[in-house]
Amino acid sequence: MLRHWIWLSRCKGIGHVSAKKLLRMFGTAENIYSLTYEQCLSAPRLPQRIIDSIMDKDMGDIDEIVARCDQLGIRFVTYADSLYPERLRQIPDPPIVLYYKGTLPNIDKEAVIGIVGTRASSNYGIVQAKQYASLIALSGGVIVSGGARGIDTVALHSGLGSILPVICVLAGGLDEYYPPENRGLFEAICQHGCVISEYPPGQRPHPKNFLARNRIISGLSVGLLVVEAPKGSGSLTTARYALEQNRDVYTIRRADGGERCMGNQELLDAGCEAVKDGWDILSHYLFRFPNLLIDGRTAEAARILYQARFGANTAVYSPVLREPFGFGGSTAPSTPDSAPYKVERPRDLTEVEFKVLSVFDHGPVEMDTIIARSGLSPADVGFALTTLQIKKRIIKNFGNSYQRI
């Protein structure tokens, strides 16, 4: 029963590694819960602390957790469920229960690429995260990241530019989004993939949870890209988890990165591969995912990819190209409002800022073009561009062009 799986996942004194061993010995969480003290003593090599934990049969607030999840539209997948990713099940310390909102993809059949990096990212790192994530998504890869400020946020935003799902792993309950300014992003991901956590509603994101979350990001992935990481960065912890889980680890070479890229150099010195773009990563997995990946750098790639994925007679809206892919004469919505997801105006943006931000696509946009697309006065656009740079939503390129980050 679900209640027993939640009990096992929350049982004090039984960590993820021990829980996996117990499941190998006794089969299910319900079997573990039903063990008597005598049965525990007769089991081989079962430490006393584990026996004491099993003897604590208190279900406590588990019924409240289930009710709260039902109220919030949060679903469950347990270690024994067929929907539970086999890729994640094989790591040394898999979560016993995953809580999620949205639609959980068939992760084992997808080329999932984890993208991580520092919260205190440079403009260079932000642009690199955007370019790598966008190309991975347009080439058939599924982006997974942690939803933190900086590189994670940019990667997830960029992943939403594809029709393929995006996965965000949080370090707290799904009723308390963190960071709060990313609520709009997380809600968009719920419509275009899923937000997941191993923590039930009500669990605040304690610092130790972020490190634990990192093993899930790498565990869901076939490869991990570290975009920008200073020495001691949590991204390097994710890379360590990935290597322990026999995942590939990639990074970006930057000679003039300074302290922000000292972690990247550590990875390169350890033998991790430097890659030049998103396709450079995905091309390693063509043999594992035939007919699912294609070089997204070509203009026709998206049409070929979507046709292969969804069939010749399927019309699929592309939020990237802002047009439907109509194969076989079928029709599809032709406006951005009819996309599979729609992001509400973030609370930290004014109406004018949001209107200006909405005109950006994936590339640089000239000032005159921004004014024409937004229909606003040059003075309003100029002020909004300044405040959007302060809020780290856009950067100014050389000349008079701007780019969304």
CATH code assigned at 362 = 1.10.10.10
Instruction: Tell me what pLDDT residue 396 has.
Output: 77
Instruction: Tell me what pLDDT residue 237 has.
Output: 92
Which of 73-88 are b and which e, b meaning 16 or more Cβ less than 10 Å from the residue's Cβ?
ebbbbbbeeeebbebb
- DSSP string computed for 273-333: EE-SSHHHHHGGGTTTSTTT---TTSTTHHHHHHHHHH-TT-EEEETTTTEEEESSS----
Distance CA 163, CA 107 (A): 15
CB of 246 closer than 8 Å to CB of 222: no
DSSP assigned state of 255: T
In a domain, 222, yes or no: yes
- 270, 285, 300: which is the final residue of a domain? 285
Sheet containing 273-274: which strands, arranged edge to edge?
75-78, 97-102, 193-197, 166-169, 142-145, 112-116, 223-226, 248-251, 273-274
CA atoms in the 13 A half-sphere facing the CB of 200: 22
Do 250 and 167 fall into the same domain?
A: yes
Cβ-Cβ contacts under 8 Å for 291 (sequence gap 6 or more) = 308
When divided into structural domains, the chain yields a total of: 4
CB of 390 closer than 8 Å to CB of 162: no
3-class secondary structure, 81: coil
The parts of the chain modelled with pLDDT lower than 70 are: 255, 257, 299-303, 306-345, 361-363, 398-400
Do 158 and 229 fall into the same domain?
A: yes
Cβ-Cβ contacts under 8 Å for 68 (sequence gap 6 or more) = 74, 175, 200, 201, 202
Instruction: Tell me what pLDDT residue 371 has.
Output: 86
Do 45 and 193 fall into the same domain?
A: no
Do 334 and 356 fall into the same domain?
A: no
CA atoms in the 13 A half-sphere facing the CB of 331: 3
Do 136 and 255 fall into the same domain?
A: yes
DSSP assigned state of 34: T
In a domain, 171, yes or no: yes
> Tens of pLDDT along 363-393?
678 888 888 888 888 888 888 888 888 777 8
Instruction: Tell me what pLDDT residue 361 has.
Output: 67
Distance CA 182, CA 39 (A): 48
Distance CA 79, CA 77 (A): 7
Instruction: Tell me what pLDDT residue 219 has.
Output: 96
Do 333 and 358 fall into the same domain?
A: no
In a domain, 147, yes or no: yes
- Whole-model pTM? 0.76
Distance CA 186, CA 22 (A): 34
Do 272 and 319 fall into the same domain?
A: no
Distance CA 163, CA 255 (A): 35
In a domain, 156, yes or no: yes
Do 10 and 45 fall into the same domain?
A: yes
Please state whether beta strands 394-396 and 142-145 pair in parallel, antiparallel, or not at all (unpaired). Answer: unpaired
Cβ-Cβ contacts under 8 Å for 155 (sequence gap 6 or more) = 115, 116, 117, 129, 130, 132, 133, 143, 145, 227
Instruction: Tell me what pLDDT residue 255 has.
Output: 67
In a domain, 189, yes or no: yes
Distance CA 281, CA 72 (A): 37
Distance CA 340, CA 333 (A): 10
Cβ-Cβ contacts under 8 Å for 174 (sequence gap 6 or more) = 72, 74, 99, 100, 101, 195, 197, 201
Instruction: Tell me what pLDDT residue 404 has.
Output: 80
Distance CA 277, CA 121 (A): 18
Instruction: Report how far apart, in Å, the C-alpha atoms of 306 and of each of 299, 324, 341, 369 are.
Output: 13, 11, 17, 30
In a domain, 190, yes or no: yes
Cβ-Cβ contacts under 8 Å for 23 (sequence gap 6 or more) = 29, 32, 79, 80
CA nearest neighbour of 32 among 1, 63, 62: 1
Do 137 and 279 fall into the same domain?
A: yes
Do 148 and 230 fall into the same domain?
A: yes
In a domain, 87, yes or no: no
Instruction: Tell me what pLDDT residue 302 has.
Output: 65
- 404 DSSP β-pair partners: 394
Do 270 and 373 fall into the same domain?
A: no
In a domain, 202, yes or no: yes
Do 108 and 180 fall into the same domain?
A: yes
Retrieve residue 298's tokens. 């070509």
Residue numbers of the domain that contains 44: 2-60
Instruction: Tell me what pLDDT residue 94 has.
Output: 94
